[in-house]
Amino acid sequence: MIEFFLNGQRQRVAAEANMSVLELLRGPLAKCGTKEGCASGDCGACTVAIADPKDDAETGQPLTYRTANACITPAHQLQGTHLVTIEGIARGHALHPSQASMVACHGSQCGFCTPGIVMSLFALHERQRRTPDAPLDAHGLELTLSGNLCRCTGYRPIRDAALSMGEHADTRPPWADDPALEDEVRRVGSTSFCKAEDQAQRPDQHHYQTPTTLAELIAAMHRHPDAPLVAGATDLWLDVTQQLEPFEMLIDLRQVRELRQIEEDAEGWWIGAALTYREWEPLLAEHYPAFAHLLTRLGSAQIRNRATVGGNIANASPIGDTPPVLLTLDAKLRLAGPDGVRTLPLESFFLDYKQTALAPGECISAIYLPKPEADFQQRVWKLSKRREDDISTLLAAFRWQLKNGVLSDVRVAYGGMAAIPRRVKTVEAALEGRAPNTAAFEAAKQALRDSVTPMSDTRGSSDYRLAAAVNLLERWHLTLDHTGSNSPTQEVALDAYAH
Amino acid sequence: MEARIESESPDTGQEIGRLEGDEPVARDTVTPRPVSNTPRHAQGHESGIKHVTGRARYIDDLPAPHGTLHAMVGLSQIAHGRVTRLDLDAVRAMPGVVDVIAAQHIPGHRDIGPVFPGDPLFADEEVSYVGQPLFAVAATSYAEARRAVKAAVVEIEPLPPRFDPVAAAEAGEFVRPTHVQVSGDWQQALEGTPHVLEAAQFVGGQEHFYLEGQACLVVPSEDEGVIVYTSNQHPSETQKLVAEVLDIPFHAVTVENRRMGGGFGGKETQAAPWACMAALLARRTGRAIRLRLPRADDTRATGKRHPFHSHYRLGFDDDGVILGGDITLIGDCGHSPDLSEAVVDRAMFHADNAYSLGAARVTGHRARTHTASNTAFRGFGGPQGMMIVERAMDDIARHIGEDPLTVRKRNLYRAGRDTTHYGQHVDQHPLMVEIIERLERSSDYWQRRDAIREFNHRSPIIKRGLALTPVKFGISFTAKHLNQAGALLHVYTDGSVMINHGGTEMGQGLHTKVCQVVARELGIDLASVRISATRTDKVPNTSPTAASSGADLNGMAARDAASQIRQRLLDFAAEHYQFDREGLGLENGKLITDNGASMPAVSWGELIQAAYLGRVSLSATGFYSTPLIHYDRDSGQGRPFYYFAYGASVSEVRLDTLSGEYRVERVDILHDVGDSLNPAIDLGQVEGGFIQGMGWLTSEELKWNDDGRLITDGPATYKIPTFGDLPPIFNVELLEGHPNSQASIYRSKAVGEPPFMLGISVWSALRDALASLAAYRISPALDTPATPERMLMAAEALRAASRDLQETT
């Protein structure tokens, strides 16, 4: 039995094993307004908004409604949250501004993607209510809506709708009138169904463990050595929806305190492995803008609200976006297991295709990100078939310092070029200690050609990957003349060295 | 453009309730309000409020009867082979399974090919593509049905598959015979010209990616038949096929569709198999059956837009004006004919686009390959046909050193060169000239051309490109008999009106337009007119909603029905109220005279009640068939199209020649819809069509592995445009003041497909950006989709060729 709020109404429902929020809505709860487009988190038709007090525990602010793809969100993760769906935002016949604006701008044609788009606009509207002075520029809108595919409209009327929500009456959903609702949500959210010791008494939760401390987590992993760990579930849940491989047992990381905090020391930060991309974003924006910009091209808002960097690393995909960047930053991992905690350089973590250095019973608990040195410079370039909401064909991460006219501390890493994300030390060696001139970069390019044989797959051919990887070294070289403009926008590439 | 719902009623709640129908219709008569019902009114989509509140129902949202089972389909994993074993015992034994069917369980027709045979409902002895249905299972839940399918034991002895349509054409492996159109002495034209160019062009296919996948719900009826709720562009054909598969009369099958979550051609023929399978299971089990394909199954099992391998050899004069030549189009049809005969025909009909080909031969091959059977997709071969001549335009321009726009303009149909290679006179061809000239000015084409050349000269890595491409698209089904439509109109005694017609709503706003037609004919407001689901027991023997013809055909049929009612009402009123019949009319919800004065306050509602009491029939059927069209396949000559729709677009791109990444920075469009029935909806079709066409040519890449398995089988790997692909500057206008020269519905023009081909300007602009790498002296090869990979490889090739060129000169 899970307890949560749906459009302001308390729900206590039995959530079957491996059930998604979408299946719960369209099945037992008979709320069919939320649509299934792909069941893989790629189209956004099933977008819902979830306010989770566990995400906002520290802020003391009103609950924040964040979008998620209901198709790949496990229903159990609704425990103690407020779920808002397309059925819950109008006030009787009076439409919410996100809805009224879509109607007025002719933003729907076939209407199937529309509930998801409206929910993304709803979350945007909530954010704008909270911070009315924050400007909404084209890029901000892209970040909000690029996870919602529409096959009919071509998006122009949806853009107009997003920009004109303020012209409509600020109709609030009926549940917004209830001053006790947020407290109730917080109260239910804190009364965990989830204590490991409770679970023996709750047979319907026998397949779902929700430890709250690292010690409980390690114990749960010991009891259930084959149980996958789940946080955002944005990749794992594809096993259920696409591979039809149900899980007997899952261990949820989202309430493990140690995995959800950031510890700062003199040299850097230990960042909890179960923090989402969204939660990393402020720190990266301040210290590593190029890395922060990469996050905006990783998945969609719905994904970034839920997916974690720990998951991106543990997944050990050759095309994961963050590992190449973290490799160039000399990131370390804190691995927790039955025998305690150890620290491992990220570089030693990836062994072979989908093989990692994790020992049985061990998990990633935190990622260490060193603070940038004074002369630190970085470039991160992602190439993909579509700019937004796409997986890398190729990802290049470069980091260096320019001291006394020569390159030092050069790190070069690529994703999508080999079975694992990896540094290319021959390229680093070709540049280290050299002046950043044509000869040095030509040597680096030759070193790259000699060192890698990229794969061919649906995202790109080996020839393209190699040619582009070499060319990105050339781009790096060209942009070195413009080091003054170390702005994240240059990561979009096109304007960086146009003149 | 105003939105009526917003502006009209401050209490939107009232308005919503009215439209939604969740309140009973009042016992008082409907009182139409005086609102603008002109055909140009930008009325919102009839389901707009239902869309945004989640109350619009799609197939899988329909409440199902108690005991409904879920069906799933077992698909071939082999592209070509003989089935040696299909053991379904293990499937039957899986939890929740109630029934399992394969080919031998079909009582009636086993082949459901829509026009020609070749599409077995279930593959029996031979499989022809990865994803071909082999069997279907019904189980008590969706998850159980999906798992049960995996338990099948299937053994297939592989046969050599064929995936290359060019090789298939060379070997004479066709799904239909080759067709040729010839005008004039094309060989003489090639021999006598100062310049001859030739090139081959590959144009990739396209997945429909309708957001609502293939889905149906079939309920067995108390007779021998079924009621089929299906996401489907062609209810009548599905009715026919279900009846034939079940071996029952057509009247035992009713097919219903209220709306689709997108169709785009993908539900014209390819929605039928699932309905047939579900109907079989429903009759066998006596229980209702839901069948909804998971996205990956949907993508593998159903056909796509045809990929084309095309070739041109054209002769032209020193000004770049085409004198004649030879164009060959090879459509990759997949394993069966499906609609490929007509698709390749339409490609041939559009190999000229807006240009006179002079003395030309156009040949269309229908190659058979071992993939899903390629099918209708917005434009229906037209876009693929246009691509070859648009490629030629750019190539000719580079060859003679002129701007591509100059060469395009010189080749447009004009007086003296106004007959197509298939013998149709091009009506309204001056419109094309006007559209281009207006767009040249409004987009500052020539100033931007100069600025871009100057920019490219200075910028070694980033290159900008610009192109203007026209569209001339023929409107009518090329299968003549499909150019007919029916409608059924009822007026109830409270004055409310129900209209039903043969067209289906897939988001294109057809139902909205038809309601507007009825409201206009009867002089009442739109809220008084409601449209119901398309049903084969209301309007029979209908054509698919396709070929952009939905409003042209069904709007006319609805108008016919409404005007019959109007005539009856006016005849009755003249007699009943003793008015002069001459000059009586219906307007603003009232009976009026010809001077516009309303007669002594006879409202619509009173008139209807009086007519009912006067025993006037308040129900009518309407019918329409398109006049004038004909085509003779033997001679390859005729007038296949009632009229042409025109448009043009200008696209500017910015390319990073180191990575192949690019952005479409600005697009200007001017498009002809005649006198628009609804500018808001037409604008939506133009914009949406453009972006879909751009996606086809840029990011939407279909890839198969060596075994013929589609590996881009979902949105993770198949990339349709998303929000950020919307050009930052996107100026789209409808051409005003040019009604259709033909007597179409209120002189409007069809708008569903033509704007799709406006996307070609993006591809041409990308070629323009590439061409700058060789000082515009080489016309680059660029197959589609022009992914960043293709762009980078083309850029590298251009740079190398440019170096060679410099060395040799």
| Close Cβ partners of B170 (under 8 Å, ≥ 6 residues apart) | none
> Of B60, B294, B659, which has the smallest distance from its Cβ to A471's Cβ?
B659
> Which two structure tokens, joined as six digits, stand for B8?
């009209």
Residue A240 has, within 13 A of its CA and on its CB side, a CA count of: 28
Q: Which residues of chain A neighbour B17 with C-beta distances below 8 Å?
A: 93
The residue of chain A nearest to residue B791, with distances taken between CA atoms, is A464
Residue B8 has pLDDT above 50, yes or no: no
| pLDDT greater than 90 at residue B756 | yes
pLDDT score, position A17: 82
Distance from chain centroid for Cα A458: 23
Output the CATH code of domain B65-160+208-301: 3.30.365.10
Averaged pLDDT for residues B533-552? 95
Q: Pick the range with the lowest mean pLDDT from A59-63, B535-539, B601-605.
A: A59-63
**What are the pLDDT digits (tens) for A425-466?**
999 999 999 999 999 999 999 999 999 999 899 899 999 999
Cβ of A105 under 8 Å from any chain B Cβ?
Answer: yes
Alpha-carbon distance values, B646 to A437, B436, B441, B475, B582 (Å): 54, 10, 18, 11, 40
Q: What digits encode the pLDDT tens for the residues B620-670?
A: 999 999 998 999 999 999 999 999 999 999 999 999 999 999 999 999 999
Question: How many Cβ contacts (< 8 angstroms) between chains A and B?
Answer: 279
Residues in A closer than 8 angstroms to B733, CB to CB, are none
Domain spanning A1-193: CATH 3.20.20.140 = no
Interchain pair A40, B724: CB under 8 A: no
CATH architecture of A257-370: 2-Layer Sandwich (3.30)
**Over the range B682-713, which residues count as b (16 or more CB within 10 Å of their CB) and which as e?**
bbbbbbbbbbbbbbbbbbbbbebeeebbbebb
The reported pLDDT for the residue numbered A57 is: 62
> Which of the residues B244, B341, B687, B753 is marked catalytic?
B753
Chain B, window 365-404: residues with a beta carbon less than 8 angstroms from a chain A beta carbon: none
Helix (H, G, I), strand (E, B) or coil at B606: helix
Q: Which of 431-470 (B) contact A at CB < 8 A?
A: 458-459, 461-462
pLDDT at residue A202 tops 80: no
**Is A54 in contact with A166 (CB distance < 8 Å)?**
no
Averaged pLDDT, B741-745: 93
Q: Where are the domains of chain A?
A: 1-193, 257-370, 382-481
Check CB contact of B706 with chain A, cutoff 8 Å. Answer: no
> What would the DSSP string read from start to end of A103-146?
HHTT--SS-SSHHHHHHHHHHHHHHHHHSTTS---HHHHHHHHT
Confidence of residue A494 (pLDDT cuts 50, 70, 90): very low
**What residues 195-224 of chain B have any CB closer than 8 A to a CB of chain A?**
208-213
Residue extents of the structural domains in chain B: 65-160+208-301, 484-625
Residue of A18, A114, A152 to mutate for B, most B C-beta atoms under 10 A: A152
CB A167 within 8 A of CB B735: no
pLDDT band at A499, cuts 50/70/90? very low
Most confident of A183-187, B34-38, B756-760: B756-760
What residue of A is the nearest CA neighbor of B729?
A: A156
Asked if A155 lies within 8 A of B52 by C-beta distance, the reply is: no
pLDDT 10s digits, B396-426: 999 999 999 999 999 999 999 999 999 999 9
Which chain A residue's Cα is nearest to B787?
Answer: A385
Average pLDDT of chain B is: 93
Instruction: Decide if B53 touches A, using CB distance below 8 A.
Output: yes
Look at residue A205 in the predicted model and tell me its pLDDT.
53
Q: Per this entry, what is the length of chain B?
A: 809
B430 pLDDT higher than 50: yes
CA distance A419 to chain B (A): 19
pLDDT per position as a tens digit, B459-483: 889 999 999 999 999 999 988 899 9
Beta bridge partners of B253: B226
Task: Please indicate whether residue B437 is annotated as part of the active site.
Answer: no
CB pair distance less than 8 Å for A118 and B52: yes
**How far apart are the CA of B498 and the nearest CA of chain A, in angstroms?**
22
Round to whole Å and give the CA distance between B299 and B286: 30
At A244 the pLDDT is: 85
Which of A:83-102 have CB within 8 Å of B?
85-87, 90, 92-95, 98-100, 102
Q: Which residues, 6 or more positions from A348, have their beta carbon under 8 angstroms from its beta carbon?
A: A357
The two three-digit tokens of residue B90, written as one number: 């293990």
Question: What is residue B323's three-state secondary structure?
Answer: strand
The amino acid occupying position A172 is R
Among A478-482, A493-497, B204-208, the range with the most confident prediction by mean pLDDT is: B204-208
Percent of chain A with pLDDT over 70: 92
Which residues from A are below 8 Å from B793, CB to CB? Answer: 463-464, 467
B723 CA: distance to closest CA in chain A (Å): 5
pLDDT of residue B15: 36
Q: What is the pLDDT of residue A258?
A: 95
Q: What percent of chain B has pLDDT over 90?
A: 89
B797 → chain A, closest CA residue? A467
For residue B59, give the nearest of B379, B241, B278 by alpha carbon. Answer: B278
Of the pLDDT bands very low, low, confident and very high (cuts 50, 70, 90), residue A201 is very low
- A chain contacts of residue B788, beta-carbon cutoff 8 Å: 383-385, 393, 468
| Distance of residue B461 Cα from the nearest chain A Cα, in angstroms | 7
Q: Which two tokens stand for residue A300?
A: 């969609």
Q: Is A496 on the interface with B (CB under 8 A)?
A: no
Q: State mean pLDDT over A96-112.
A: 98
SS (H, E, C) B500-529: EECCCCCCCCHHHHHHHHHHHHHCCCHHHE
Instruction: Indicate the class that CATH gives domain A382-481.
Output: alpha beta
Chain A contact present for B96, CB below 8 A: no
CA distance A389 to chain B (A): 8
- Residue B636 C-alpha from the chain's centroid: 25
Cα gap B150→B731, rounded to integer Å: 50
Beta carbons of A495 and A489 less than 8 angstroms apart: yes
CA distances from A335 to A254, A256, B84, B626 (A): 17, 14, 52, 74
% of chain B residues with pLDDT over 70: 94
| Tens-place pLDDT, residues B209-241 | 999 999 999 999 999 999 999 999 999 999 999
B803 at A interface, C-beta within 8 A: no
pLDDT at B594: 74
Which chain A residues touch B797 with a CB distance below 8 Å? none
Which helix (H) or strand (E) element contains residue B680? helix B679-697
Q: Is the pLDDT of residue B325 over 80?
A: yes
Q: Quick one: pLDDT band at residue A58, thresholds 50, 70, 90? A: low
pLDDT band at B26 (very low <50, low <70, confident <90, very high): very low
Q: Which residues of A touch B703 (CB under 8 A)?
A: 458
CA of B150, closest CA in chain A: separation in Å?
A: 10
ipTM: 0.95
pLDDT one-digit tens code per residue, A371-417: 999 899 999 999 999 998 999 999 999 999 999 999 999 999 999 99
Copy the structure tokens of residue B752: 């569903």
pLDDT tens-digit map of A122-172 = 999 999 998 888 888 888 899 999 999 999 999 999 999 999 999 999 999
What is the model's pLDDT at position A480? 81
Maximum mean pLDDT: which of A202-211, B551-560, B580-589 = B551-560
For residue B597, the model assigns a pLDDT of 67
- Alpha-carbon Rg of chain B, whole angstroms? 28
Helices B760-771 and B679-697, axial angle in degrees (round to 10): 40
Q: Inform me whether the pLDDT recorded for B24 exceeds 90.
A: no
Whether residue A112 lies within 8 A of chain B, CB to CB, comes out as: yes
CATH number 3.40.640.10 given to B484-625 = no
Residue carrying structure tokens 């390959």: B369
Answer for the pair A491, A379: CB distance below 8 angstroms, yes or no. yes
Give the pLDDT band (50/70/90) at residue B16: very low
Q: Which of B42, B658, B688 sits opposite A154 (nearest CB)?
A: B688
CA of A13 vs chain B CAs: smallest distance (Å): 19
Does any CB of chain B come closer than 8 Å to the CB of residue A381? yes
For all residues of chain A together, what is the average pLDDT?
91
pLDDT at position B2: 35
For A66-90, what is the mean pLDDT?
A: 96
pLDDT higher than 90, residue B50? yes
The answer, yes or no, to whether residue A263 has pLDDT greater than 60, is yes
Residues of chain B contacting residue A39, judged by C-beta atoms under 8 Å apart: 294-295
d(CA B674, CA B40) in angstroms, rounded, equals 11
Counting residues of chain A whose pLDDT is more than 90, the rounded percentage is 79
For residue B286, pLDDT beyond 60:
yes
| pLDDT tens sequence across B106-141 | 999 999 999 999 999 999 999 999 999 999 999 999
Q: Are B564 and B523 contacting, i.e. CB atoms less than 8 angstroms apart?
A: no
Q: pLDDT at position B599, please? A: 65
What the block records as the tokens of B598 is 């309303």
- Asked if A383 has any chain B CB less than 8 Å from its own CB, the reply is yes
